[in-house]
Structure 1
Amino acid sequence: MKFFVIGDVTVDHLYHLDRIPAPGQEVSPTRATMEPGGAGGTISVTLARLGHTVTLAARVGQDPFAEYALGRVRESGVLQTAIQQDPEHLTSTITVMQTPDGQRAMISHGAANRQLDPARLKKKDIEGADAVVISAYSLTEGPQRDYALRAIEIARGAKKPVPVFIDLGTGAVNKVGTRLMADVIAADYLTLNQHELLALTGTASISAALARLGEAGARRVVVKVGRMGSIVWSPEETELVDAVPPEGQVVDSTGAGDTFTATFAHAALTGLPLAQAARAANAAGALAATRFGAQARPITPADLERALGR
């Protein structure tokens, strides 16, 4: 199948710490690594590794970080015809500080990604895809937002409508808040975590939030609820899908949510029911967290077969 992915590519600086430093403090990490990341990069790499033809729309600077950010994108065979280079803005970077008990602090800059030029979006790329997957960071600001909205419009208006998957991110919903609802509600599939769900809807409980999305016209929603797994919702069903314990120790959650989204899109497009697709995604997200870096643990069809067969 063919996927068109819109999202960021970044260079991730990962620091594993005993504690997040207070202002003015200097601490030494237990581990420090630099890895390619970004929601767009991780989603596209995961889909390509699962055997799909993937085109990624992102923008990098003309700097040494550009090659590194796109390293695994290229290794995985993702098509780069929609990758743009920016002559003025730097390639995006993210600094992640993470403690053993799951606390995280991040410094991120959209940089070149936010300048994705909508004039270079090709209608045929959207109409020729089997699905479009969009990271909601693409909907926060700048020309990239216009690019993503135009892609959604083309997908919805195609002679054979193209399914749209939108994945929220904590930074995106924290930045835009409930105003993001208008942009994402038309998605065929909406994936997000519990915090993002409540912030997006301005509600205080998962049940109230899902009711709010239903009233607004949501079609299918998948809520990532950490160690409990995920919740799938549609106007016809609501089901808690249990987590799938990973084969290996969880060491780094960076990119696990993006891996979840990509795997869910893969499973849903191959015809699995919502709950089965979510179970596959639960397994993939957990496996991704057993390596350091967002794209370090390849997710294979054999991984998903084992997870679904348990």
Structure 2
Amino acid sequence: MKFYVIGDVTVDHLYHLDRLPKPGQEVTPTQASMKPGGAGGTISVTLARLGHTVTLAARVGADPFADYALSHVRGSGVQDSAIQRDSQYLTSTITVMQTASGQRAMISDGAANRQLDPAQLKTKDIEGSDALIINAYALTEGPQRAYSLAAIAAAKGAKTPVPVFIDLGTGAVNKAGTSLLNDVIAADYLMLNQHELQALTGTGSISAALADLGAAGAQRVVVKVGKMGSITWTPTDTELVDAIRPDGQVVDSTGAGDTFTATFAHAVLNGAGMSEAARAANAAGALAATGIGAQERPITPADLADVLPGVAVPQVAAPAPKATRSRKTPAS
């Protein structure tokens, strides 16, 4: 399968703490590390490691961090033809502070990512893909927002429409608020967590938020609900899909949601229904959290089969030649 991914690539500075510092306090981490990250990078790397052909659209600076941010992207075979370089803005960085109890604080800078130039978008690359995946940070501001909206229009307007997966992020929803709804409601698959769902709709419960999304025109929604697993929703069906407990200790949740998104799209494009795809994604997100860094724990089809005994997780098929390959929008 061919995926086109739009999202950030970053260098993540990770600090594991006993407690988050109060204003003016200095604390010593129990562990500190620097890893490649970013939603776009993590989604792309996960899909490539699952055997897909992936093109990533992102923008980095002309600084030493750029190559490091892209190291796993390149190492996993993601195509970099849509990676742009910026001579003015730096490569994006994120500082993540988290405790063993799950408390978390972040400092992020969109930097070069937000300058993704829409003039360099090649719509034929979107039209020739089997799916478009966008992280909502790419829809918040700047040229990157224009690039993402143009890509969605290209996917929807293709002779054979390309399925669009949009994954929200807490920072994106906090920044854009309910105005983001207009940009994401046309997604074939909309993925978000409980906080993002309620902030996006301005409601106080999951059920009310899903009702509002349905009234606005949403067709397929997946809500990540942490230790409970995930909820799949369509206008005619709602299902809670239980979480999967992986072998190994959960040490870092950075990138787990992005791994969930990539795995969900992988399963759907290979014919899985929504609940089966969510079950595979639950497992992949949990496995990702057993490694430190968003892209450090590779997810493979064998991993998914191991943690889902008795469930047929679709395997990646070799893509057919372009001249004869057909594409159809996955059913819910």
What TM-score comes out, normalization by structure 2 length?
A: 0.93
Q: What's the counterpart of residue 169 of structure 1?
A: 169
- Distance in 1 (CA, whole Å) between partners of 2:274 and 2:306 is 18
Give the conservation status (yes or no) of the 8 Å contact 2:246–2:307.
no
- Give 1:305 deviation, angstroms: 1.4
AA of the residue aligned to 2:76: S
Aligned length: 310
AA of the residue aligned to 2:42: T
- Distance in 1 (CA, whole Å) between partners of 2:267 and 2:235 is 20
Give the conservation status (yes or no) of the 8 Å contact 2:4–2:132.
yes
AA of the residue aligned to 1:143: P
AA of the residue aligned to 1:159: K
Q: What's the counterpart of residue 40 of structure 2?
A: 40
Q: Secondary structure at the match of 2:287?
A: helix
- Distance in 2 (CA, whole Å) between partners of 1:180 and 1:247 is 37
Q: What's the counterpart of residue 286 of structure 2?
A: 286
- Distance in 1 (CA, whole Å) between partners of 2:27 and 2:87 is 36
- Distance in 2 (CA, whole Å) between partners of 1:277 and 1:129 is 20
Q: What's the counterpart of residue 306 of structure 2?
A: 306
- Distance in 2 (CA, whole Å) between partners of 1:309 and 1:239 is 20
Deviating above 4 A after TM superposition, structure 1's stretches of 4 or more consecutive aligned residues are: none
- Give 1:235 deviation, angstroms: 1.1
Aligned residues: percent identity? 78
- Distance in 1 (CA, whole Å) between partners of 2:43 and 2:308 is 21
1:97-148 Cα distance to aligned partner (Å, 9 max, x none): 0011000000000000000000000011000000000000000000000000
1:165-210 Cα distance to aligned partner (Å, 9 max, x none): 0000000000000000000000000000000000000000000000
AA of the residue aligned to 1:122: K
- Give 1:309 deviation, angstroms: 2.0
Q: What's the counterpart of residue 321 of structure 2?
A: none
Give the conservation status (yes or no) of the 8 Å contact 1:276–1:308.
no
1:139-159 Cα distance to aligned partner (Å, 9 max, x none): 000000000000000000000
Q: What's the counterpart of residue 148 of structure 1?
A: 148
- Distance in 1 (CA, whole Å) between partners of 2:305 and 2:129 is 25
- Distance in 1 (CA, whole Å) between partners of 2:308 and 2:233 is 20
Q: What's the counterpart of residue 60 of structure 1?
A: 60
Q: What's the counterpart of residue 200 of structure 1?
A: 200
1:22-42 Cα distance to aligned partner (Å, 9 max, x none): 111111000000000000000
- Distance in 2 (CA, whole Å) between partners of 1:243 and 1:21 is 31
Aligned-pair Cα RMSD in Å: 0.5
Q: What's the counterpart of residue 273 of structure 2?
A: 273
The answer to whether structure 1 residue 227 and structure 2 residue 264 are counterparts is: no
- Distance in 1 (CA, whole Å) between partners of 2:221 and 2:307 is 21
AA of the residue aligned to 1:2: K
Q: What's the counterpart of residue 261 of structure 1?
A: 261
5+ unaligned residues in a row in structure 1: which ranges?
none
- Distance in 2 (CA, whole Å) between partners of 1:117 and 1:111 is 13
- Distance in 1 (CA, whole Å) between partners of 2:308 and 2:156 is 32
- Give 1:308 deviation, angstroms: 2.9
- Distance in 2 (CA, whole Å) between partners of 1:191 and 1:21 is 31
- Give 1:220 deviation, angstroms: 0.3
- Distance in 2 (CA, whole Å) between partners of 1:4 and 1:118 is 15
Give the conservation status (yes or no) of the 8 Å contact 1:48–1:77.
yes
Q: What's the counterpart of residue 72 of structure 2?
A: 72
- Give 1:271 deviation, angstroms: 0.6
- Distance in 1 (CA, whole Å) between partners of 2:271 and 2:237 is 17
- Distance in 1 (CA, whole Å) between partners of 2:132 and 2:252 is 27
Q: What's the counterpart of residue 133 of structure 2?
A: 133
